Amino acid sequence: LEEHLRAAFRDKLRLLLTVPARDGATLMLSTRVLLKRREVAEVEQELQSQREEFRRRMERLAQRREQLARREEEQRDVVLKYDAFLKAAAARRERALRRAGEERARAVAQGTEAARLHRELEGLLQHRERLARRLRSLRRFGDYLRDALASIGQFQDVPAMLVHFGVLAEARAALAQEAEAGQERLAQGRARLQRYREEMSTELLGTNNELAQLHARLEAARQDVLQWESRWAYVQSTATQKTLLLGQIKLAVLNLFQLSTAWLRIPMDVALENTEAQLDMLLLCMRGLTDICATSRHPPRHRGAMLSQSQE
């Protein structure tokens, strides 16, 4: 705004400067002052008018801004309302589609149920037709039962007679079942008896085989006993002979020991039961006798050496 006012003031000054110069002598000072005042008043008036125009323009701009703000608010409200309308329309459309799907599913289910009921109705009609045919086929039996009821004269009506004969049939079936059960139990008993006989036969055969094996083992044991008894008798006889021979040897050793010690005049400081010591002493005596015999056979020059050996 200030720049605009400055530009307008410069334009006015430029216009004043372009006024034709007057003669300084003829133009009075008051006239100049009046002219200047008028020019300043015109400039002030122009500035005032421009300020007023600027104020009105600013008011119009403020009003325009307010209008724009109101329009923007209205547009925002319209957009929000339109968005809400679209959401509501989408929700209504979704509900409508859901209801349509449910209606279609319900229609399909109703169609399926109707088809099932139709098939069931057809089955019931066919069953009714079969029952009707069976009734027509059994009608002659009804006539026969009524004739039998009239001829028997013991029952009031056909159902009572049928109940009586039904009881008899059940009793007959029970008796037949009991007889069949008895036959089955008898067959089971026979089968068990046969299995028992087979088991006993198998067990008896196994017992006979085991008995034969035991007899064979007994005979083998008897043979072993006889063999070991003969061996024991042989061992006993051999031991007796060895004992007798040992006694004879001990007696012979004792006799030789006594003869040797008596002949050589050696003191008997050995026990009579110590045969080994007696044998050692006999060995020494035999060596001494051998040396004596050798001395008697050899010449005198060798007698000293032989005596030294005998002394050793």
Count Cβ neighbours within 10 Å for each residue of 139-168 and write b for 16 or more, e otherwise. eeeeeebeeebeeeeeeeeeeebeeeeeee
- Do 238 and 281 share a domain, yes or no? no
In a domain, 190, yes or no: yes
pLDDT tens readout for residues 202-243: 888 888 888 888 888 888 888 888 888 888 888 888 888 888
- Do 23 and 68 share a domain, yes or no? yes
- Do 8 and 87 share a domain, yes or no? yes
pLDDT tens readout for residues 165-185: 788 888 888 888 888 888 888
pLDDT tens readout for residues 278-300: 777 777 777 777 877 787 665 54
Last residue of a domain, one of 207, 227, 243: 243
- Residue 306: the pLDDT is 42
pLDDT tens readout for residues 98-118: 888 888 888 888 888 888 888
- Do 254 and 298 share a domain, yes or no? yes
Q: For helices 29-152 and 2-17, what crossing angle results, to 10°?
A: 150
Say which residue, 12 or 259, is predicted with more confidence. Answer: 259
Q: Is the pLDDT of residue 301 over 70?
A: no
What secondary structure does DSSP assign to 49-105, as a single string? HHHHHHHHHHHHHHHHHHHHHHHHHHHHHHHHHHHHHHHHHHHHHHHHHHHHHHHHH
Tokens 């009707």 — which residue? 132
Q: Is the pTM of this model over 0.85?
A: no
In a domain, 119, yes or no: no
In a domain, 293, yes or no: yes
pLDDT tens readout for residues 27-45: 467 677 777 778 878 878 8
- Do 15 and 83 share a domain, yes or no? yes
- Residue 305: the pLDDT is 45
pLDDT mean across residues, the chain: 78
Last residue of a domain, one of 193, 223, 243: 243
- Residue 295: the pLDDT is 77
- Do 209 and 259 share a domain, yes or no? no
In a domain, 96, yes or no: no
- Do 212 and 255 share a domain, yes or no? no
- Do 199 and 262 share a domain, yes or no? no
SS3 category, 312:
coil
- Do 233 and 251 share a domain, yes or no? no
In a domain, 178, yes or no: yes
pLDDT tens readout for residues 64-100: 888 888 888 888 888 888 888 888 888 888 888 888 8
d(CA 152, CA 293): 155
- Residue 25: the pLDDT is 45
Say which residue, 292 or 60, is predicted with more confidence. Answer: 60
How many domains are there within the chain? 3
Q: Which domain holds residue 233?
A: 156-243
In a domain, 223, yes or no: yes
Last residue of a domain, one of 42, 72, 91: 91
pLDDT tens readout for residues 118-160: 888 999 999 888 888 888 877 777 777 777 767 776 767 767 7
- Residue 312: the pLDDT is 40
- Do 238 and 263 share a domain, yes or no? no
pLDDT tier, 308 (very low <50, low <70, confident <90, very high otherwise): very low
Instruction: Using a pLDDT cut of 70, give the percent of the chain over it.
Output: 80
In a domain, 65, yes or no: yes
- Do 209 and 262 share a domain, yes or no? no
- Residue 20: the pLDDT is 47
In a domain, 103, yes or no: no
Q: Is the pLDDT of residue 23 over 50?
A: no
- Do 33 and 80 share a domain, yes or no? yes
